Amino acid sequence: MTAAVSASSRRPRKNVVLSIVAILLSVVVFLVPFAFILLTAVKSRQEASRLDFTWPTQFQFVQNFVDVVQARDYMLIIAFINSTILTVASVSIMVVLAAMVAFVLQRRRTRWTGFINFLVLSGLIIPPAVVPTIWVLQKLGLFRTMPGLILVEVAFGLSFCILLFRAFIATVPRELDEAAIIDGAGPLRLFFRVILPLLKSVIITCVVVQSVTVFNDFVNPLYFLPGDQNATVQLTLYNFSSSYSTQYNLLFMDILLITIPPLIMFLFFNKRIVAGMTAGAIKG
């Protein structure tokens, strides 16, 4: 935080000008689009269709909210339930499996270690092959099912979590393992009772980052869980833009509602998200 302090603290006057310019620019570039979403979401249909950046003449927040929720047989409610199940299930499985891999991968070097590291990195880099994945899911009877999509999200998210956990486990002293083993702990007990509790902070980071990723995921539900009944929240947005192309107020209300969960994550876990994204990124 203080890296450049000494360099610039000699010219405090210039910084005021710079600050004002930066803040004004940030308002124009970053806040105006969000304000536009907010304002359009509370406008009446006709007013919204003009696409102006103006103050609404009448506020229709409740009306639009109810309309969006009721649209297409309460599709949004179903979608929120689907997205919640998907996010909670896939992120919990992902975190436990990744922590187990990262633990053994960091602790024990064998001739396989290099190969496993290569596989982990490949998972980050290689774009998934779409139709063959559908083919595999079909063979397993998991295509168009929630468990299928959950497992797909797990498979695609593992690599990021493993890298994050491995870097953190490297800072946990081995003496702890040895003490637990001397006390007679087996591998399961050592991992779940001794190591896992120590990973709390990195687990929170991983959960938050991956939750936002899975919740915002559009591509995988589109391919692997098609159908209105199975829609996740991102797909309702997509449906809105096609079938309600003129009802901009509802579209933006939908965008607004869908942005709330990540916003909450951001408000509560800003520091953890930042830690996870930079640590994971730099190690990778």
Tell me which residues in 206-235 interact with other proteins (CB under 8 A): 212, 216, 218-219, 222-223, 233-234
Q: Provide, rounded to whole angstroms, the least separation between the CB of residue 28 and other proteins.
A: 9
**What's the token pair of residue 273?**
């998200």
Contact indicator for 186, 224 with CB cutoff of 8 Å: no
Q: Which of residues 31-50 bind other proteins (CB under 8 A)?
A: 31-33, 36-37, 50
Site for other proteins in 241-280 (CB under 8 A): 241, 248, 251-252, 255, 258-259, 262-263, 265-266, 270, 273-274, 277-278
Name the residue nearer to other proteins (CB basis): 26 or 70.
Answer: 26
Using CB under 8 A, pick the residue from 23, 66, 77, 81 that binds other proteins: 23
Q: Closest approach of Cβ 227 to other proteins, in Å?
A: 14
Q: Between 172 and 201, how does the x/- string for binding to other proteins read (CB under 8 A)?
A: -----x---x---xxxxxxx----------
Nearest to 133 by CA among 235, 214, 219, 209: 219
The CA-CA-CA angle for residues 225, 226, 229, to 5°, reads 95
Number of residues that bind other proteins (CB under 8 A): 104
Supply the minimum distance, in Å, between the C-beta of residue 216 and other proteins: 5
Spell out a b/e string for 252-281, using b for 16 or more CB atoms within 10 Å of the CB, else e: bbbbbbbeebbeebeeebeebbebbeebbe
CA geometry: angle 135, 215, 74, nearest 5 deg: 90
Q: Is 26 in the site for other proteins (CB under 8 A)?
A: yes
Output the smallest distance, CB 133 to other proteins, in A: 4
Within 88-147, the residues that bind other proteins by CB under 8 A are 97-98, 100-101, 103-105, 107-108, 110-111, 116, 119, 123-138, 140
CA 228-229-231 angle, to 5 degrees, is: 60
> Which residue matches tokens 């929170």?
204
Distance CA 46, CA 246 (A): 9
Sequence-separated (6 or more) residues with CB below 8 Å from residue 203: 95, 99, 196
CB of 27 to other proteins, least distance (A): 8
Cβ distance 253 to 65 under 8 Å? yes
Which 56-95 positions form the footprint of other proteins (CB under 8 A)? none
